[in-house]
Structure 1
Amino acid sequence: MKITRLSDLADAALCRRLVVKVGSSLLVGKDGVRRAWLEGLVAEIAAARAGGQEVIVVSSGAIALGAAKLGLDKGGRGSLADAQAAAAVGQIALSGLWAELLSAHGVTAAQLLLTLEDLEDRRRYLNATATLTRLLDAGAVPVINENDSVATQEIRFGDNDRLAARVAQAAQANAVLLLSDVDGLFDRNPAEPGAMLLPEVRGVTAEVHAMATGGSSSGMGSGGMTSKLQAAEIAERAGIALAIASGLYDAPIARASAEGIGTLFLPRRKDAGRKAWLGGRLRLKGALVIDAGAARALAKGSSLLAAGVIRVEGEFQRGDAVAIRSEAGETLAHGLAEYDALECARLMGHNSAEHAALLGYAPRSAVVHRDQMVVL
């Protein structure tokens, strides 16, 4: 059984494990924490748990809370130093708030702070998976946020939408619900006359991306519609449904599921664990540009051979994740390189029989083996 409509998000038989992402503008208003609204959301989460669902929360708001306490302008986002300081202060308040409100329903909250590197490195990703599984088995509600106090530009997600999708992947969740300041994806800017809400999307295409606008309307968060579509792409490859719905109303989960107001992105396929991790990676060390013949071979399930490589981009080592692109610039696959960038450059365009002479040692069978690759 699969999730096919928004109402399925409230069905424990179809959605045993749900990730709920809460945006900054929903948690923090001009006068501080929107406590009454959050109490209602927590009541919904507690009711879902009582109904047999496991819930993971990805919560924004630490920077906004910390900035208010420290008196920082621009919501604490004026500089990286401001954001890190605000997060350090705000994270205590944020985790305490969730713990207090969940405890009122007899539910234990657990805090996890993650960076991009925690979920891009395979071993740390598996550690996060084990921790989430154990917490859920113990009856806790994990409350997750990006570790903004230490995350620099190189190791940060930059938004909690994509973090939520990666957490769902790691936790083997059935669905993600992104609560935001919009009802869902519209066919054009929702401020334009005649804009229509799309109730369902089957596959995030270039046309779907063209409908997105970049920024958050509140100016408080870091993720706009573009980041939500990127989150949907991560989820759909892992067999996870993702919904975008407005959190501006009371009982937002019920509004999305019972009234069907939002956009549901249906999963396209369910890759095996390692390939789902590869396909959902957000940071790649380089790229291999390939010719049309190699592209056709990849589509049929073949490994990538050096003869089909026409350009090498970036600096990477053996075992690093790289993109495999067409001559037109389309990303066809992600994979783990069997050679470093310099060796790939030396081998590209050459047949396998020439490799030993070019390298001076017995070569591996492929530049990227099909077992270490996911075609997108």
Structure 2
Amino acid sequence: MASLNIREARRLVVKIGSALLVDQAAGLRRDWLNSLAEDIAAIRSRGTDVIVVSSGSIALGRRLLELSPTDLALEQSQAAAAVGQIHLARAYEEALAPHGIRTGQVLVTLEDSQDRRRYLNTRATLEQLLKLGVTPIVNENDTIATDEIRYGDNDRLAAQVAVTVGADQLVLLSDVDGLYTSNPSIDPEATHIPVVDRITPEIEAMAGDAISGLSKGGMRTKLMAARMASDGGCAMAIALGSHDNPLRQIENNNRATWFLAQTDPQAARKSWIAAMKSKGAVAVDDGAQRALRNGKSLLPAGVTNVTGSFGRGDPVAIQGADGASLGVGLSRYTSVEAAAIKGLQTRDLPAVLGYDARAALIHRDDMVLQ
């Protein structure tokens, strides 16, 4: 079970809302951002991976383009995002660079998590950035996203990122310090809830009804994010983020609401993969079978046969030399590509495929063995 203290996090995702990063005049709150950078540096110094999911591009771009402070047309919002994203990325780079931290910008849409191929590509990119010591700054790609391919809020985007990278903790920095039994702005008897073991209908009712306008501080979307995160093995906190050094404040036990993880990230991912219906199969030799049992990825060199028709990211059955089922995994190649490279050494793949290729046909993190 994930810890309820950031100090124990292995991989932490932090979500920053526009209201925290940008002031009422649509100017960047640099002092606050610098204090956040101090927190991130301190957390990273303990060996914890940190990913930031940040709003603010449209708010910054709106001011720079001198657009209306009221609702914008879709194309105006997309233009504002295009301009604002550059300034947002630069702001994080300037805040984190003095601490020796490199940053990388990752822009995603809802389609990137719904399509398995895009999902795997996003996961691989984020993993590689973390391995290289980079702090990814993730935002929704508002420059191209239309309503049907939008998350629409960065709470759920942050939860999806947390599940994608196998984070064990997610912190939503907000303008509220957690979940209450009712709306504290209108009910003096409202009680703060420090820990939620499981999201029940009673807990959901405390978030208010978005249709009636009683939802407080976007709490309904935060609960949706909490359910996604906790089901994916990630504990989540809702905490007040307006003061300086907000993550340090949480470490020092400032008020927050923690939602407990219902499993661990690896088990949640394995369950997700195991529930998929295979679209094909790959047979492996005895050496590959032993390697898989020892926790290795499946390389093309160990594959002896490919059957079925599947695309990148599709689930495929893994079979032993005797035809027995060994498990299932998500293929990083199409069935046509897999058939072309079966039995080949990694160094020979580019000559056959015509492009630089991934070493593993099925990565160990995308595999469930029986």
The reply to whether TM is greater than 0.5 is yes
Residue 48 of structure 1 deviates from its aligned partner by 0.7
Q: Which residue pairs with 1:246 in the alignment?
A: 240
Counterpart pick for 1:273 among 269, 272, 275: 269
Contact 2:57 2:80 in 1 (8 A): yes
SS state at 1:269 partner: coil
Q: Distance in 2 between matches of 1:227 and 1:92?
A: 27
Q: Distance in 2 between matches of 1:274 and 1:154?
A: 29
Q: Which residue pairs with 2:58 in the alignment?
A: 63
Contact 2:113 2:119 in 1 (8 A): yes
Q: Distance in 2 between matches of 1:47 and 1:214?
A: 39
Contact 1:238 1:276 in 2 (8 A): no
Counterpart pick for 1:9 among 6, 15, 22: 6
Residue 257 of structure 1 deviates from its aligned partner by 2.2
Q: Distance in 2 between matches of 1:241 and 1:262?
A: 13
> Which one-letter code corresponds to 2:83 in the other structure?
V
Contact 2:11 2:49 in 1 (8 A): yes
Counterpart pick for 1:202 among 197, 201, 207: 197
Residue 169 of structure 1 deviates from its aligned partner by 0.8
SS state at 2:15 partner: strand
Q: Which residue pairs with 1:211 in the alignment?
A: 206
Contact 1:237 1:276 in 2 (8 A): no
Structure 1 residues 278, 64: closer, same or farther in 2, change over 3 A?
farther
Q: Which residues of structure 2 form unaligned runs of 5+?
A: 211-216, 276-313, 315-370
Counterpart pick for 1:95 among 89, 95, 100: 89
Residue 250 of structure 1 deviates from its aligned partner by 1.1
Q: Which residue pairs with 1:48 in the alignment?
A: 43
Q: Which residue pairs with 1:153 in the alignment?
A: 147
Q: Which residue pairs with 1:173 in the alignment?
A: 167
SS state at 2:51 partner: strand
> Which one-letter code corresponds to 2:128 in the other structure?
R
Structure 1 residues 213, 24: closer, same or farther in 2, change over 3 A?
farther
Aligned pairs (5 A) from 1:1-376:
2-5=1-4, 8-11=5-8, 15-31=9-25, 32-74=27-69, 77-191=71-185, 192-213=187-208, 224-270=218-264, 271-273=267-269, 275-276=271-272
TM-score by length of 2: 0.69
Contact 1:108 1:141 in 2 (8 A): yes
SS state at 1:249 partner: coil
Residue 255 of structure 1 deviates from its aligned partner by 1.2
Structure 1 residues 195, 42: closer, same or farther in 2, change over 3 A?
same
Say what the alpha-carbon RMSD is for the aligned residues. Answer: 2.2
| Number of residue pairs aligned between Structure 1 and Structure 2 | 268
> Which one-letter code corresponds to 1:212 in the other structure?
A
Q: Once superposed, which parts of structure 1, at least 4 consecutive aligned residues long, lie more than 2 Å away?
A: 2-5, 269-272, 274-279
Contact 1:183 1:245 in 2 (8 A): yes
Contact 1:214 1:225 in 2 (8 A): no
Residue 3 of structure 1 deviates from its aligned partner by 2.6
Residue 74 of structure 1 deviates from its aligned partner by 3.5
CA deviation map 1:143-182 (0-9, x unaligned): 0000001000010000011011110111111110000111
Q: Distance in 1 between matches of 2:23 and 2:273?
A: 35
Q: Distance in 2 between matches of 1:164 and 1:241?
A: 12
Contact 1:67 1:73 in 2 (8 A): yes
SS state at 1:133 partner: helix
SS state at 2:41 partner: helix
Structure 1 residues 61, 278: closer, same or farther in 2, change over 3 A?
farther
Structure 1 residues 96, 202: closer, same or farther in 2, change over 3 A?
same
Residue 276 of structure 1 deviates from its aligned partner by 4.4
